[in-house]
Structure 1
Amino acid sequence: MTDAPEAPEPITPQVAEAAKDAHGTNPWNNRDFRLLWIGRLSAVLAIQTQGAALLWQVYDIARRDHPIQEASLYLGLIGLCQFVPLLALTLPAGEMADRLDRKKTVVLSILVEGLCAILFLGLALHGSPPLWSLLAVAALFGAARAFLAPASQAFLPMVVGRAALPRAIAAQSIAFQTGSIAAPAIAGLIVGVAVPYAYATALCLFCVGLSCFLMIRTSGKPRRERTPFSAIAMFDAVGVGLKYVWNTKVVLGAISLDLVVVLLAGVALLTPIFARDILHIGAEGFGLLRASFGAGALLMAVGLSRFPIVRRGGAWMFGAVAVFGLCALTFGVSRMAWLSGIALFIAGAADMVSVNIRQTLIQLATPDEMRGRVSSVSMLFIGASNELGEFYTGFAVRILGPIGAALFGGFGALASTGLWARWFPDLRKADKLS
């Protein structure tokens, strides 16, 4: 009589991690990563196409009744309406990413973003919708992003494992920057024909991204032991995440530097103003300006995925931020479209170096059970730098004019580089990115 077969050993998190690391340092060997990458690219294309169309539509409507300085405030309100829900929801969303299934959270967030695309499309078909309606949908979109960002960032290490993480982050950046290049250029061309077509394109892309995430087999359930939900426990967990970031000076310095620099020197909001009223290159030129920044970032991301930065990470990061500030100054003084495009191209490449190093430092320095909360803090800083930065830039244009706002931001970025290098010596001395 033969012995009964032994029951298979349960697959522990350590075994699952070892299986992912068996793919080596190349994330492309992983089927789920390929699906995640395509889903990420589709979602970014949708978000960037929709965002570029919204910026142009709002500014075009506002300029019919207001001068440049006042119309720029409406562009700032787009960022503010997205930042308020990000501020209110991102930290609780990070705690939920450490408690609930991260993949399901990503899927639900993309569903809501697709709903926003439908609403934008309906409003665009109206012809000239009231600006408050566009801002209201932008606020809903900001709420969806609050849940998407920490869940998707925390899900990536679960898919690829630690060994492939640095190259996976660079590859994810390729997806983001490809969308940042293609989407604004495409949106500029489509908007030149009709704004509703841009929103319809975004809706189709959201559907593609959603399909890819639904086909991923990797479980999104975090390793953290699930406990009964309570508001007190949630705020306590959020507090733990904030304390961890505060005490880990490398992480705190990296994300706060990004906040200050992009807040001061973010030039994305200025592109419709410069394209329409300073460079006089229209909607197509606006798309090309937006694409120039992404083109530089994409090429740098491709290079980093093949030849990642492994030593002197802190020095590389501070150098990249300084170059970003110089490019903002160049963009502000330029009166030639080709020079403005080159400045944005180099700024995109420099920004990609900074982003890659920051994300690698954060992911490698953070244990899995806290990645959702730490990612939410990081995304809150990034959201503040982008969305709140749009509001700040709109206000700065109202006070200083578009040229003065660009110059002030460039000088501010350079000054911040020197201050952060002094205040965060651990970040400046950060060496190995492995």
Structure 2
Amino acid sequence: MISTKDNSSLLKNKSLRLLMTARVSTNFAYQMITVAIGWQMYSLTHSAFYLGLVGLVQFLPMLFLSLFVGHISDRYDRRKIVTLSQVTQSVFIFIMAFGNYNELITKERFLILIFFIAVAHSFEGPPMQALLPNIVSKEIFPRASALMSSVSEFAVIIGPAVGGILYTFGTTLVFLLTGILYLISGILIYHISIEKEIFKSEPTSIKSLFAGISFIKSRPIILGAISLDLFAVLFGGATALLPIYASSILMIGSFGLGILRSAPAVGALLMSAYLARKPLKHNVGKTMFIAVIFFGLSTIAFAISRSVIISFIALLILGASDVISVVIRSTLVQLNTPDYMRGRVSSVNMIFIGTSNQLGEFESGITASLFGTVPAALIGGIGTIAVVMLWMKLFSSILHVDRFEASKN
């Protein structure tokens, strides 16, 4: 068992503290703005289709820019890229606040602003993911990753609830606070010190741009792990439908929406805190598959629930199971990727994550508009379990991964 004293020793690393604080600020802001955007879009349109469009306009910039961002992340200062990204996001969020204050927001303008925020956000993910291995040793990376998830999820728990409360006073306040938090995070990231120089000597070419894809294809275990997350969450994206559940099914309003948004983070926080104290040491491959199965089962339970308590518990289990998968996947990817490739590999990973999250929201919105909200969420949960069964056959080598160090191919 890893003691509290061991975790305290991690926190003596100043750069790790700065990175954790920045992640808390960013996650807090992201969760608040997610609640505000979802609730405002549904208030403007009362349409599941438009809720799905929000996911689509967030996904497209990530799809088309991530490989480029990964490439520059391996050639330039990752801290400066993240800082510029977060400052730019804050500018567009402030514009969104101004538009709301002056009652200039329409659904079309709203989507345009969300798109530009997503463009700036696309430059944040790959370099942000690649920073942690630069500031902690390989030996303590799994524990640092779990600790990072733990403190980040604390903000994810509070953020949606605060966002839901502040929304009752108007969206302008939510957007203003969100913009400020992104500015704070950018400043903190800029002051991080890294121990390794960014690899810069490789010439720019089409081959180097797509090197991350080639690297992942050559390692079936990594490919299987990140593609499992892609398709499982793509089908199981019931969280995109939370505004409808809060408004029309559970009848709990914007504050209730914030509570539901917080539920997965509560589960994730509890699980990541546990993993920080007792890191996974054996059967990591099997554990990942089991975790994703529970993700699907909890999605099914949430889909058919009419009780706020049962819905909250289902989302709590969903978050706990998801963080297990995230920790295993990120550890496999980061520990088996050389530093000069981490930006490009992280960019491909971000495309997979974006596809599962943002495109999953679009898929959920389309499915809900065609079949109804509850059937859409139910189909998603069943689809997630079906994907796990298929992946256990297509990537059976993952089942034999006992320790993180065992991933050699």
TM more than 0.5: yes
- Of the three residues 291, 305, 308, the one matched with 2:262 is 291
Deviations 1:71-116 (A, max 9, x none): 0111111111111111110011111111111111111111111112
Partner of 2:220: 249
From 349, 372, 378, the counterpart of 1:378: 349
The corresponding residue for 1:406 is: 377
In the alignment, does 2:75 pair up with 1:92? no
How is 1:1-400 mapped onto 2 (pairs within 5 angstroms)? 26-63=9-46, 71-127=47-103, 129-218=105-194, 221-222=197-198, 224-227=199-202, 229=204, 233=205, 235-400=206-371
Higher deviation after alignment, 308-317 or 164-173: 164-173
| Letter aligned with residue 115 of structure 2 | A
Contact 1:242 1:377 (8 Å CA) reproduced: yes
**Which structure has the greater CA radius of gyration?**
1
Residue 354 (structure 1) shift: 0.6
Q: CA deviation at 1:226?
A: 2.5
Return the alpha-carbon distance in structure 1 between the equivalents of residues 116 and 404 of structure 2.
37
Residue aligned with 2:194, SS = coil
- Compare 123-132 and 32-41 and name the one that shifted more: 123-132
Structure 1, unmatched stretches of 5+, are 1-22, 64-70
Confirm or deny: 8 A CA contact 1:24 1:163 kept in the other structure: no
Contact 2:161 2:259 in 1 (8 A): yes
| Matched residue type, 2:183 | C
- Give, in whole Å, the separation in 2 of the partners of 1:302 and 1:159: 21
Q: Counterparts of 1:176 and 1:217 in 2: how far apart (Å)?
A: 20
- Cα displacement string for residues 360-401 of structure 1 (whole angstroms, at most 9, x for unaligned residues): 010111111111111111110000111111111100001110
SS, match of residue 186 in structure 1: helix
For 1:358 and 1:158, the matched residues in 2 are separated by 18
Q: 3-state DSSP class of the match of 1:163?
A: coil
Cα distance in 2 for partners of 1:39, 1:219 equals 19
Distance 1:128 1:275, change over 3 A: farther
- Paired residues, number: 400
Residue 3 of structure 2 is matched in structure 1 by none
**TM-aligned CA deviation for residue 236 of structure 1:** 1.2
* Structure 2 contact 135–193 (Cα < 8 Å) conserved: no
Task: Report how far residue 288 of structure 1 moved.
Answer: 0.4
Provide the aligned C-alpha RMSD in A: 1.6
Q: CA deviation at 1:212?
A: 1.4
* Whole-angstrom CA distance in 2 between matches of 1:154 and 1:169: 12
Name the counterpart of 1:10: none
1:160 shift after superposition: 1.2
C-alpha distance in structure 1 between counterparts of 2:195 and 2:65, whole Å: 24
Give the fraction of aligned pairs with identical amino acids, expressed as a percent. 37
1: CA distance, partners of 2:7 / 2:113: 43
- Specify the alignment match of 1:7 in structure 2: none
**Alignment check: 8 A CA contact 1:241 1:374 kept:** yes
Cα drift, residue 209 of structure 1: 1.1
Separation in structure 2 between the aligned mates of residue 228 and residue 162 of structure 1, nearest angstrom = 28
Report the Cα distance in structure 1 between the residues aligned to 2:197 and 2:28, rounded to whole angstroms. Answer: 27
User: Offset of 1:334 from its aligned partner?
Assistant: 0.4
What TM-score, normalized to structure 2? 0.95
CA separation in 1, counterparts of 2:7 and 2:160? 35
Aligned-residue offset at 1:128: 6.0
- Displacement of 1:24: 10
Structure 2: 5+ residue runs without aligned partners? 1-5
Q: Which residue of 1 aligns with 2:387?
A: 416
**Equivalent position amino acid for 2:275 in 1:** L
